[in-house]
Chains A and B, each alone.
Chain A
Amino acid sequence: MSNTLRPYLACVRSSLTAALTLENFPSQVSERHNVAEIEAQSTPEVLLTPLLISRNASEQVLIEPSINSVRLSIKIKQADEIERILAHKFTRFLMMRAEAFVILRRVPVKGYDISFLVTNKNVEDMMKHKLVDFVIQFMEDVDRELSEAKLSLNARARIVAESYLSQFA
């Protein structure tokens, strides 16, 4: 299974590095305003082609670039109910702290679990390769965190059941 992970992440990394070539773009709709064009969608000519990178049907990354901002949406693998609940809790937890994360979007794009919004200002403040590193590491860590949480839940359940039932013997 993990033989598709490395190419998947490499593809996301190179696509993201290419998409993050952002420049300042004053709004053509309102004077002296500067908006993230991918969110406002006010001038169609600066919106670039969205790119969908799929590992399989349940793990996808959508990159929507524009001239001054990029929206990155991730769909996390959720095989069963427990993973669904854990992923939902985790992403909600992160999104409530979106201000601290700067590049995180408070609401995910429809059909995805979590979204990032990177503007030209963010790219100026932070080093681009480190930013891409962060996103890639985020994707790996989320999967790992989910599987660890599921394992610990199962282990805990096993201990609870065993300690209760062994008292009857």
Chain B
Amino acid sequence: MLQLEPNNRYLATTLPLLFAAPKPSSVDQAFVDFDSIRYHLWTPDPKNKAVLLLSMDVRCWSDLSQHGAMDLMRREYGDYLVQDDETEAEYSVTLKIHIDQLPAGEEERAEIVSKLSLLKRNALAAPFEKAFGIQKHLEANPRGEDDVVRKEDVMSVHYRPEEALYILPSSDRVTIVFSTIFKEETDRIFGKVFLQEFVDARRRPSCQTAPQVLYTNREPPLEIRDIPGLGAGLERGENVGYVTFVLFPRHFATPALAAESITQIQLFRDYLHYHIKCSKAYMHSRMRTRVAEFLKVLNRAKPDVAAGEGARKTASGRSFVRA
């Protein structure tokens, strides 16, 4: 599996089953997704099993709601979204779905299911959309000589305990900086190889129009280092890596392109670490086969002890086995 899926597989398979069941049944499931996101899917009211509650807890909800996540939720999920005071305790956002009030058509239902399973993607898309908006605004009204990125424009999302992503819009591009931690030294070296390839991929014909990727180890890149207030709080150290993506307007020119770009960028960190782990596992299986081969060669060195030879006879006829 080369690419990670942006939608939640569990939701995508369970919801159609729930929707299609002739009689609504009670359900209570808690499950997780990448980046410590928790879901809770359940029927709160045992008397009315057609009301389904889907709650999601996002670690960085405070960052996201600052950048307009609630508006995006309202836009995408409109009627399903519940009011703030009705949101389930310890969760960030709750959707209420009435199974009996769903449209009857197959296609419409499938669309609703796919929208619901993209809940995580939509929540994290808020800062990106805001950045694209700011960029378009800056393009139309350029700031002039000092086109320096201001602190207010930088959006930071701390989606993992020690890792964050920073979005910096400017007049002709949007720069996205990921900070990522490599817990093991092997991971770090593999990560360096992978990221070097990302940087070099632009030379290849199929990736000519792809965004530019830059990579620094240990020190945060210049773009965010100098921003007052932000620069001091950045992680530094041996196993910290910073990856910078530069998105040009052509990557988000139309809403469809923008949505695609957002979906892809969000999954970058998980994609990278997933492939690092995969290659480590591959190395392991390679080594195991190689070791088995060595053993075979070594066993060739052991001469076969034929039964007749093993037991020898002396001149007087007694037989013995040489120890």
Contact = CB atoms under 8 A, between A and B. Distances in A.
B279 A153 contact: yes
B109 interface: no
Interface in B207-255: 207-211, 213, 251
A149 B210 contact: no
A81 B196 CA distance: 14
Contacts of A156: 275, 279, 282
Interface of B (DSSP majority class): helix
Interface in B281-298: 282-284, 286-288, 290-291, 293-295, 297-298
Contacts of A30: none
A163 B301 contact: no
Contacts of B301: 126-127, 130-131, 133-134
Nearest to A101: B298
Contacts of A52: none
Interface stretch (B32-40, B168-176, B186-194, B313-321): B186-194
Contact of A169 (B3, B193, B209, B303): B209
B2 interface: yes
A166 B291 contact: no
A144 to B, nearest CB: 10
Interface string B301-316: 1110000000000000
Interface stretch (B71-79, B86-94, B117-125, B197-205): B197-205
A18 interface: no
A61 B61 CA distance: 59
Contacts of A145: 286-287, 290
Contact of A162 (B201, B251, B298): B201
Interface stretch (A3-11, A31-39, A42-50, A92-100): A92-100
Interface string A110-144: 00000000000000011100110110011001000
A162 B291 contact: no
A82 interface: yes
A138 B282 CA distance: 21
A166 B206 contact: yes
B260 interface: yes
- Which bracket fits the contact residues of B? 35 or more
B198 A168 contact: no
A160 B193 contact: no
B283 A101 contact: no
- Which bracket fits the contact residues of A? 35 or more
A134 B298 contact: yes
Given A82-B193, A149-B286, A160 B2 contact: yes
Nearest to B185: A85
B302 A168 contact: no
Contact of A168 (B190, B193, B264): B264
Contact of B295 (A101, A126, A141, A169): A101
Contacts of A165: 198, 201-202, 207, 210-211, 213
A165 B264 CA distance: 9
A52 to B, nearest CB: 24
A161 B197 contact: yes
Contacts of B297: 133-134, 137-138
B271 interface: yes
Interface of B: 2-3, 185-186, 189-190, 192-194, 196-198, 200-202, 204, 206-211, 213, 251, 260-261, 264, 268, 271, 275, 279, 282-284, 286-288, 290-291, 293-295, 297-298, 300-303
13 contacts: A82-B189, A131-B301, A145-B286, A160-B275, A161-B200, A162-B207, A163-B3, A164-B198, A165-B198, A168-B251, A168-B261, A169-B207, A169-B208
Given A162-B207, A164-B264, 8 more contacts: A81-B189, A93-B287, A93-B291, A133-B297, A160-B194, A161-B198, A161-B201, A163-B3
